[in-house]
Every structure is written in C-alpha cells, then in structure tokens.
Amino acid sequence: SFPIDRQMTAKELGFDRPCANSLDAVSDRDFALEFLGVASICAMHL
C-alpha cells in the first residue's frame, strides 16, 4: 500500500479525524432497510 498519513490527509480535507472503519466511509446499506420497509408496508396492505 501507499505510505499515506491518514491523520494529515483527514486534516487537510477538513475532517476532525480519519474514519476508524474504511467500509463505513464508502459503503451504503440503507437500500436494504428501505426495501424491507416498503415490502412490509405492501404486505400489510395486501
């Protein structure tokens, strides 16, 4: 990997600190919850 100083990079980009878990910074799982919510509402109406 590249020798990147995460603390300095975060500060230069205006963040307080680097993200502890990189998956949290780049991943989005809200679509699954949204689908389940819509599916449950549809099931209640049917």
Return the number of other C-beta atoms located less than 10 Å from residue 11's C-beta.
13
> According to the model, what pLDDT value does residue 30 have?
87
> According to the model, what pLDDT value does residue 6 have?
92
Place of tokens 């878990």: 21
> According to the model, what pLDDT value does residue 8 have?
96
- Structural domain boundaries in the chain: 6-45
Each residue's pLDDT, cut to its tens digit, for the chain (46 residues) gives 889 999 999 999 999 999 888 887 888 888 999 999 999 999 999 8
**Residue 43 and residue 35 in contact, taking contact as beta carbons nearer than 8 Å:** no
- Whole-model pTM over 0.85: no
> According to the model, what pLDDT value does residue 36 have?
95
